[in-house]
Amino acid sequence: MKQNKHRTLKLALLFSVIIFSIMTLSMLLIGVIIVMLYYTGHLGELDTLFLLIWFIFPSLITGIVIAFLVAIKGLQPVLKMCDAITKVAEGDFSVRFKEKYLIYEVSQMAECFNVMVKELDNMNTVHTNFINNVSHEFRTPLSAIEGYAAFLGNEQINKAERIQYANQIIGVTEKLSVIINNILLLSKISVENMKIEKEYFNLSESIREVLIMLENKWSVKKLSIDLELQDFLYLGSKEMMEEVWNNLIGNAIKFSDSGGQLKIKSLKNKNTVIVIISDNGIGMTKETQEKIYDKFFQADTSHSQDGAGLGLSIVKRIIAVHQGKIHIDSELNKGTTFTIDLPMLKK
Ligand code: ADP
């Protein structure tokens, strides 16, 4: 607010200096001409009133002409800005201001405009990619449903086949509803300055609850689970944290071979909480690790029916809204460890 007032005063001063310079310049010009005409004998003897009129009117006209020329030069960036804004409004995000302007404020306005258009361009790309990915994720299950429905319509198939196709349709629609729920969750938590509904809960207990929920998945694979959980109260969103454990432990199970081992550890230091989830499954290359938080990224397509590559984007965002950090250590064919650091938040 104070800075704005300061900048307004600066601009007003600049404007006054320009007007003052124009006036002085035009008066000087006419003054010099009158003196020259007088000394060369072209004016003869003049009375004061006549001299004054001779001075004021030409000065005024010269002033207007100079002001007009200065305004044309000064208003050029404003007109250019108008054209550029119209182009952006029509969806062209390639416009940029390249030149530097004499007035610092105008140069700054051009710079801010460039930053804004670049951001809009990025957002537009993210948006388009998101729509393309969503359409792609929906296309495959929808054609599967179409295919199974066509089989079901065939009168020649027996009861067992009918049940099998019906189950396939149920499986695919379940995957679709998981994708839709994840997209909705991601859009809900992606809001800037999102407020979380915080409550005190036992963080390790929430991990145990998720493990129980996932029991059918890890018991089928005969995974051994090594738990080292400290009990303490943590202030945050229990529902969101359960989503984090569900995704990380779910992935650890999904990307482990039968008979593998999961290790889950939670501990509280003075002001921070640390949760470590590790598996000795398929692991990841360095290139994969750089992309895992991207929306719809899946390195291992053999498990693509069990997810849509949104899980870790959701995890990262939830940790961020709790002001925490997530770190990955992974080696191909050796295993993966996710470490989460959460600060103890205040009410
Ligand atoms: P998805 O729901 O498809 O698993 P995620 O966002 O949870 O999507 O994970 C993105 C990708 O990261 C996965 O497809 C997989 O390639 C890789 N990934 C995630 N967790 C692990 C893990 N524990 N071990 C190996 N790869 C993993």
313 close to 326: Cβ distance less than 8 angstroms: no
pLDDT of residue 168: 93
313 CA to centre of ligand 1 in angstroms: 10
Question: What sign does the dihedral 214-215-218-224 (CA atoms) show?
Answer: positive
* Smallest CA separation from ligand 1 atom 2, residue: 307
Reported for 326-329, long-range contacts at CB under 8 A and 24+ positions apart, including other chains, are 328/284, 328/289, 328/292
| Coil vs helix vs strand at 322 | coil
Q: What angle do CA 88, 92, 98 make, to 5 degrees?
A: 75
24 CA to centre of ligand 1 in angstroms: 73
Q: What are phi and psi of 242, to 5 degrees?
A: -65, -35
Query: In sequence order, what are the beta bridge partners of 236?
Result: 199
Lining ligand 1 with CB less than 6 A are: 247, 251-252, 255, 279, 281-284, 292, 297-300, 307-312, 336
Which residue, 16, 14, 18, is CA-closest to 68? 18
218 close to 326: Cβ distance less than 8 angstroms: no
Q: Is the pTM of this model over 0.75?
A: no
Residues sharing a CB contact under 8 Å with residue 172, sequence separation 6 or more, in sequence order: 141, 144, 145, 148
Residue owning tokens 């300061």: 6
Write out the chain's pLDDT in tens, 347 residues.
566 677 777 777 877 788 888 888 888 888 888 888 878 877 766 666 677 777 777 778 888 888 888 777 777 888 888 999 999 999 999 999 887 777 788 888 899 999 999 999 988 888 888 888 888 888 888 999 999 999 998 888 899 999 999 999 999 999 899 889 988 888 888 877 778 889 999 999 999 999 999 999 999 999 999 999 999 999 999 999 999 999 999 999 999 999 999 999 999 998 999 999 999 999 999 999 999 998 888 887 666 666 778 899 999 999 999 999 999 999 999 999 999 999 998 87
* Smallest CA separation from ligand 1 atom 14, residue: 298
34 CA to centre of ligand 1 in angstroms: 86
323 CA to centre of ligand 1 in angstroms: 23
pLDDT of residue 25: 85
| Alpha-carbon span 72 to 316, nearest angstrom | 52
Query: In sequence order, what are the beta bridge partners of 326?
Result: 340
DSSP string, 267-294: EE-SSEEEEEEEE-SS---HHHHHHTTS
309 CA to centre of ligand 1 in angstroms: 7
Q: Which tokens in the block code for residue 206? A: 């929430």
Buried b / exposed e along 202-218 (16+ C-beta atoms within 10 A): ebbebbeebbeebeeeb
- Report the C-alpha dihedral over residues 124, 127, 128, 134, rounded to 10 degrees: 180
* Smallest CA separation from ligand 1 atom 1, residue: 309
Which residue, 267, 263, 242, is CA-closest to 322? 242
